Amino acid sequence: MSNAEIGLIGLGTMGAAMALNIADNGFDIAVWNRTTSTTQSFHKDAGDLANRISPTETLKDFVAAIKAPRAIILMVPAGEAVDEQIAALRPLLGADDLIIDAGNANFHDTNRRARDAGDLPYLGIGVSGGEEGARFGPSIMGGGKRAHWDRVSHILHAISAKHKGQPCATWMGEEGAGHFVKAVHNGIEYADMQMISEVYGIMRDGLGMTNPAIAETFTAWDQGPLKSYLIEISAKVAAATDPKTGAPMLDVIVDAAGQKGTGRWTVIEAQHLAAPIPAIEAAVVARNLSSQRAARAAGEDLFGTAPRHMPHESLTLAALESALMAGKVLCYAQGFSMISNASDDFGWALPLPEIAEVWREGCIIRSAMLDDMATALRDDAERNLMMAPKFTTILKETHGSLRQVVAQAALHGLALPALSSGLAYFDAMRTARGTANMIQGQRDFFGAHGFEHIDGATDQNGPWGS
Ligand code: 6PG
């Protein structure tokens, strides 16, 4: 039998959810997993969708179950597993058969795999939205040859999230462009999550608020301009109770954050591109620091607990909301500006407005403000988002609160790495004459590196030797 319109390899959490999504949208799908019992139980649990799913036990049977020219989605862990799967699959495929890596690949790997594939069809697509997104509508960022994307775009559009009926699935460019955009998405995700956790820390340690009060605050914020998936789930996390102990969930979760590496990739790439994304970098650093629990405990023993508690009159919840608003705009502005840098450096015409559009629904960083960002980028994709009128207005209204929050936190010993980096970025970006003249003077002093004079003369040297 070779009836399936598409095949999917890898029935882990994300793969299983995506296979059900594909079947649910009316496409017949063949599935294969390295462990056959996983394939069998997946099929058994598929309910009404089981008749659209062909479970297979060998790779050969899997390939035979798909209509030629085939399209096969890989949902296997990023890294070597993808290379191994491609190597096992290619000999069984025809020259027109398309492999689609839908995992969280490093875009450099996708570039390499696309080049290795030569004329053989290959796509790398970034998929965001976690398990629920994969099942009911993720945001999809495609990379590879446009003609190959067009072959499967009807399926990817059908399974993706929709914003006012418009599919959140878009081709971003050649080779690893889709996985690159997904990496920057994750960088913004790290910064947004970090800023929310910093604000949570102020409510908990600075203002002494209870978990239910924190949950209520996030719920209220989710009705306003901060409306977003991450604020919504933060309210739910703060409201939850531990079934084991009856204590608030947040009080029993160890304060050491995990990471699979996508945020780190973004930061490494930003350094290669010389793209300033300090809030995202601070968020990755904060995750690294969070895992140094023993060192932090030793530091607290040595230096004592910071004062932390703030008098209520020093900070209102409205100021916190505004500060978070400013921080959020700044971390998106950094992410989009990095994408713009990459577009020039990699020779990809990365479509900034479409990227904002594709992130409006389905993905982890979906938020009310992305629609306005899409409009601002349509208007001028080259301009830093903080200079777009809508966001200039927001920043003018909110940066005072961000400053107040950062200052109060500093006075009370509360660390706000992402929010304070966001503020420093804002201040640096509105300072026409900065302080790098001193750095140029120092470089010229010790290394005769030369500098540009304000009268326009280049390759100048100072009178240091005289
Ligand atoms: C998404 C998420 C998803 C996943 C990350 C988690 O967009 O759906 O970003 O890809 O949750 O891999 O990354 P960390 O383990 O690095 O937090």
- Which residue owns the Cα nearest ligand 1 atom 4? 130
Inter-residue contact 157 to 169 (CB < 8 Å): yes
Provide φ and ψ at 209, rounded to 5°: -80, 150
* Separation CA 284–CA 101 (nearest Å): 25
What is the pLDDT, as a whole number, of residue 344?
A: 87
DSSP state of 228: B
194 lines ligand 1 (CB under 6 A): no
Sign of the Cα pseudo-torsion (346, 116, 75, 30, in order)? positive
Tell me how far apart the alpha carbons of residues 73 and 152 are, in angstroms, rounded to a whole number: 10
Q: Which residue type, as a one-letter code, is found at position 153? A: S
In this structure, the strands spanning 162-163 and 169-173 are unpaired
Strand bridging mode 71-74 / 98-101: parallel
Confidence (pLDDT) at 1:
52
Please confirm, yes or no, whether 189 is among the known catalytic residues.
yes
* Any atom of ligand 1 within 6 Å of the Cβ of 266: no
Strand bridging mode 71-74 / 6-9: parallel
**What does the pLDDT profile of the chain (466 residues) look like in tens digits?**
569 999 999 999 999 999 999 999 999 999 999 999 999 999 999 999 999 999 999 999 999 999 999 999 999 999 999 999 999 999 999 999 999 999 999 999 999 999 999 999 999 999 999 999 999 999 999 999 999 999 999 999 999 999 999 999 999 999 999 999 999 999 999 999 999 999 999 999 999 999 999 999 999 999 999 999 999 999 999 999 999 999 999 999 999 999 999 999 999 999 999 999 999 999 999 999 999 999 999 999 999 999 999 887 779 999 999 999 999 999 999 999 999 999 989 999 999 999 999 999 999 999 999 999 999 999 999 999 999 999 999 999 999 999 999 999 999 999 999 999 999 999 999 999 999 999 999 999 999 999 999 999 999 999 998 6
How much is the pLDDT for 314? 79
**Is 258 touching ligand 1 by the criterion CB < 6 Å?**
yes
| Ligand 1 center–CA 186 separation, angstroms | 7
**What does CATH list as the number for 6-175?**
3.40.50.720
- Residue 465: predicted pLDDT: 83
Question: How is residue 241 written in tokens?
Answer: 């109770």
For residue 190, the ligand 1 atom closest to its alpha carbon is: 17
Count other Cβ atoms within 10 Å, centred on residue 448. 11
Contact between residue 261 and residue 184 where contact means Cβ atoms under 8 Å apart:
no
Q: Which atom of ligand 1 is nearest to the CA of 129?
A: 8
Q: Going by C-beta distance under 8 Å and a sequence separation of 6 or more, which residues neighbour residue 54?
A: 1, 3, 4, 28, 29, 30, 31, 65
pLDDT of residue 449: 97
Q: Is the CB of 230 under 6 A from ligand 1?
A: no
pLDDT of residue 466: 62
Q: Tabulate helix, strand, coil % of the chain (nearest 5).
A: 60, 10, 30
Measured CA to CA, the distance from residue 341 to residue 177 in angstroms comes to 13
The owner of tokens 């598409």 is 6
Please tell me if the CB atom of residue 283 comes closer than 6 angstroms to any atom of ligand 1: no
Look at residue 311 in the predicted model and tell me its pLDDT: 81
The CB of 363 under 6 Å from ligand 1? The reply is: yes
What is the rounded distance in angstroms from the CA atom of residue 383 to the CA atom of residue 376?
9
| Residue ranges of domains in the chain | 6-175, 186-429
CB-ligand 1 contact for 79 (6 Å cutoff) = no
Contacts of 436-445 spanning 24+ positions with Cβ under 8 A: none
**Enclosing H/E stretch for 205:** none
With a 6 Å cutoff on the Cβ, whether 104 touches ligand 1 is yes
Grouping H, G, I as helix, E, B as strand and the rest as coil, residue 291 is coil
SS3 1: coil
Distance, CA of 446 to CA of 451 (rounded, Å): 13
HEC string of 329-344? HHHHHHHHHHHHHHHH
Say what the pLDDT of residue 443 is.
98
Give the distance from CA 443 to its chain's centroid: 37
Asked if residue 66 lies in contact with residue 56, where contact means CB atoms within 8 angstroms, the answer is: no
| Degrees, nearest 5: CA angle 152-153-154 | 90
- C-alpha 330/C-alpha 248 separation (Å) is 32
Give CA 171 to chain center in angstroms. Answer: 17
Q: Separation of 107 CA from ligand 1 center, angstroms?
A: 15
Closest by CA to 186, choosing from 109, 261, 135, is 261
**CATH class for the region spanning 186-429:** mainly alpha
Does residue 262 have its Cβ closer than 6 Å to ligand 1? Answer: yes
Interval between CA 340 and ligand 1 midpoint (Å): 22
Ligand 1 pocket test, candidate residues 186, 229, 285, 359, most atoms within 8 A of CB: 186
Residue of 136, 179, 193, 262 best suited for mutating to test ligand 1, as the one with most atoms within 8 Å of CB: 262
The span from the CA of 371 to the CA of 168, in Å, is: 12
Centroid of ligand 1 to alpha carbon of 11 (angstroms): 18
129 lines ligand 1 (CB under 6 A): yes
Residue 327 CB neighbour total at 10 angstroms: 33
Q: What is the pLDDT at residue 379? A: 97
Residue 142, pLDDT score: 98
* CA nearest to 329, candidates 230, 400, 226, 231: 226
Residue 182 is a catalytic residue? yes
**What letter would DSSP give residue 101?**
E
Catalytic residue among 5, 145, 175, 189: 189
Q: Which of 168, 285, 364 to mutate to test the pocket of ligand 1 (most atoms within 8 A of CB)?
A: 364
CB-based burial label for 60 (10 Å; 0-12, 13-18, 19+): exposed
